[in-house]
Amino acid sequence: MFIRKCSSPSALKSELEDIRRKVSVQETGASWNTIEQGIVQLTQCCKNGGCAFATEVVAGIRSLSIPLNNAMNSERSRLSGATIELITALSVGLGPAFKPFLSIFIPTILGLCARTNKVSTSRAKASIFAVIKHTQSSSILPYLAASVHNKSPSLRLVAAESVLAYLNFNTSNGTRTHLIEDVIQSTSEDASAVVRAVGKTIYEAYKALLPDNVERFV
C-alpha cells in the first residue's frame, strides 16, 4: 500500500476522508479486511506526519471513534490488533495531546484485558503502557482504579500493573493520589496473590515518591 506523507492539514483531511470510507462499513466476513486496511492506513498516516497536526488528528479520530472501538472489540484478532496498534501510534505521535482520547478508547482497551485470549490481553496492556508513558496524564487513573475492582483477575492485574507503570513514568507528585491509595488498599485485599504482589510494589513506589502521604495514608 502506497503511503502518502501527511505534510499539511489539507493532505491529512484528504487521507482521513479516504480512510473513513473504509472503516465506517459494517464488519462482515467480506468487509473486515477493508476495515483493517483503513486502520493500517490511518496508523501509517499518523506515523508519517499526520500527528504534527494535532487539532485535525484529534477531530478526525474523534469522528471515527465508534467504528474504531467496534474494530478494537472485534473477535477477529488481526482487526482488533491493528486498531490497538493505531491507539499506540497515536499516543506516541501526539504525546500529551492524546488526552482527549483517554475517555474514548481506554475503557475499550481495558475491556480487552478481561478476555481469556492472552494475545489480546498482551496487546492491550502494551498499548496502555504506551499511553501512560507518552501522555503523562493523571486522567487515566480513574479508569485504572475502577478496573482493580473488576471481577476479571486478568483485568485487575493489568490495571494494577498500569498504576505501577504510571508511578514509574511520572516522577512528579501530581494529583489524584487518593486514587492510587484506593488501588493500594484494594490490591492488598485481592484474592489473587499476583495482584497482591503488584499492589505491594505499588505501595513501595508510592512511598518512595510521596513519603509524607504514606505516613498519613497508613
Q: What is the pLDDT of residue 212?
A: 77
Domain's final residue, options 78, 103, 128: 103
> How many angstroms separate the CA atoms of 149 and 53, rounded?
38
Structural domain contains residue 120: no
Please enumerate in sequence order all residues whose Cβ is within 8 A of that of 31, keeping only pairs 6 or more positions apart, or say none. Answer: 25
- Total tally of structural domains belonging to the chain: 2
Clarify whether residues 14 and 97 are in a common domain.
Answer: yes
Instruction: Name the residue range of residue 171's domain.
Output: 136-210
> How many angstroms separate the CA atoms of 171 and 87, rounded?
24
Clarify whether residues 148 and 67 are in a common domain.
Answer: no
Q: What is the pLDDT of residue 217?
A: 61
Structural domain contains residue 2: no
Structural domain contains residue 84: yes
Q: What is the pLDDT of residue 129?
A: 98
Clarify whether residues 94 and 177 are in a common domain.
Answer: no
Structural domain contains residue 118: no
Q: What is the pLDDT of residue 215?
A: 67
Clarify whether residues 148 and 195 are in a common domain.
Answer: yes
Clarify whether residues 91 and 161 are in a common domain.
Answer: no
Structural domain contains residue 165: yes
Per-residue pLDDT 10s for the chain (218 aa) are 555 678 899 999 999 999 999 999 999 999 999 999 999 999 999 999 999 999 999 999 999 999 999 999 999 999 999 999 999 999 999 999 999 999 999 999 999 999 989 999 999 999 999 999 999 999 999 999 999 999 999 999 999 999 999 999 876 656 688 999 999 999 999 999 999 999 999 999 999 888 877 766 65
Q: What is the pLDDT of residue 5?
A: 76
Clarify whether residues 98 and 13 are in a common domain.
Answer: yes
Q: What is the pLDDT of residue 149?
A: 97
Clarify whether residues 149 and 78 are in a common domain.
Answer: no
Report H helices in the chain.
Answer: 9-23, 32-47, 54-63, 65-72, 77-94, 102-112, 118-135, 141-147, 153-169, 177-188, 193-209, 211-217
Clarify whether residues 94 and 149 are in a common domain.
Answer: no
Clarify whether residues 80 and 140 are in a common domain.
Answer: no
Clarify whether residues 89 and 20 are in a common domain.
Answer: yes
Structural domain contains residue 98: yes
Structural domain contains residue 32: yes
Clarify whether residues 188 and 141 are in a common domain.
Answer: yes
Structural domain contains residue 199: yes
